[in-house]
Amino acid sequence: MPYTRPTKSATSSTPPLLQPQPGIAPLLPPVHIVDLMTDEGSAAFGAVWKGLEAKIIPCPALSDSRPEFTTTYDIDPHAEILGYDDSAWETVPPTDLGGRRGGGMVSFFWFRATLTIPPHATGFATAGAKTILHINIDDYAEIWVNSELPRVAGRPSPAAIQGFNMPNRLVLADTANPGDQYAIAVFAINGPISAAPANFLWFREAKIEFFR
């Protein structure tokens, strides 16, 4: 489904405390880790990483904005959409996920890949294991999984920004099933935005953690 830009403000009909809590990754050490920043690690999940710089573009303000606000901003493209065509994007080798991207200062970048749970991941039998996606972007990230950004206002939401150079750890599966697929879209943000840094965007970490 293509992205549709909203035209008026919207609020959830369900109070935050009544909304389902996004899954929280265990704090115990994982029993197995696969490094997606290696050729072997990404190949284990059939992951082909694609990348493209994201832009901030002007657009009309929401129709119920105060009258003095006639223009606002959106990102382009909206590559979080499931099935988004990234075939023309740069292919990013796993070993280059740590390469510096963006022009520095206030900049944004999309990374996309589809992960398929294998029966065995670098020697580990995956069936039934709790599966965590661990991403650490310098400086911030928002992580979409199958076109969803799991979040609840006022409650821990691992897919949203976690802090300055802090990892996002998302539960992909409570019990892994070989063959299951996860379309991952990482929106990387250079920050702090109000203190625009003289550096760039890159992956500090990208890995899959398994727990029993």
Read off φ and ψ for residue 70, nearest 5 degrees: -110, -15
Bigger pLDDT: 170 vs 152: 170
- Give the pLDDT score at 30: 99
- Give the pLDDT score at 151: 87
Mean pLDDT, residues 145-170 taken together: 91
pLDDT in tens, 176-211: 999 999 999 999 999 999 999 999 999 999 999 999
Mean pLDDT, residues 82-105 taken together: 98
- Give the pLDDT score at 121: 98
Please, what is the end-to-end C-alpha distance for the chain in angstroms?
Answer: 36
Mean pLDDT, residues 120-126 taken together: 98
pLDDT in tens, 15-70: 877 888 899 999 999 999 999 999 999 999 999 999 999 999 999 999 999 999 99
With contact defined as beta carbons under 8 Å apart, do 156 and 85 qualify? Answer: no
- Residues linked to residue 110 through DSSP beta bridges, in sequence order: 52, 187
CA distance 165 to 151: 19
- Give the pLDDT score at 19: 84
CA distance 26 to 7: 39
* Count of beta carbons in the 10 Å neighbourhood of residue 113: 23
Mean pLDDT rounded to a whole number for the chain: 96
Going by DSSP bridges, is the β-strand pair 181-189/32-35 parallel, antiparallel, or unpaired? unpaired
Residue 1 has pLDDT above 80, yes or no: no
Mean pLDDT, residues 98-126 taken together: 98
Residue type, 26: P
* Domains of the chain, each with CATH number or no CATH: 29-211 (2.60.120.260)
CA distance 116 to 177: 10
With contact defined as beta carbons under 8 Å apart, do 184 and 134 qualify? Answer: no
CA distance 200 to 100: 6
Give the rounded percent of residues in the chain with a pLDDT score beyond 70: 100
Residue 98 has pLDDT above 80, yes or no: yes
Mean pLDDT, residues 153-170 taken together: 91
- Give the pLDDT score at 21: 86
- Give the pLDDT score at 13: 82
Q: How confident is the model at residue 93 (pLDDT cuts 50, 70, 90)?
A: very high
How many H helices and E strands in the chain? 1, 12
Residue 129 has pLDDT above 90, yes or no: yes
CA distance 50 to 88: 9
Shortest CA distance to 134 belongs to which of 152, 159, 154? Answer: 159
- Give the pLDDT score at 2: 86
Residue 100 has pLDDT above 80, yes or no: yes
- Give the pLDDT score at 89: 99
DSSP code of residue 37: T
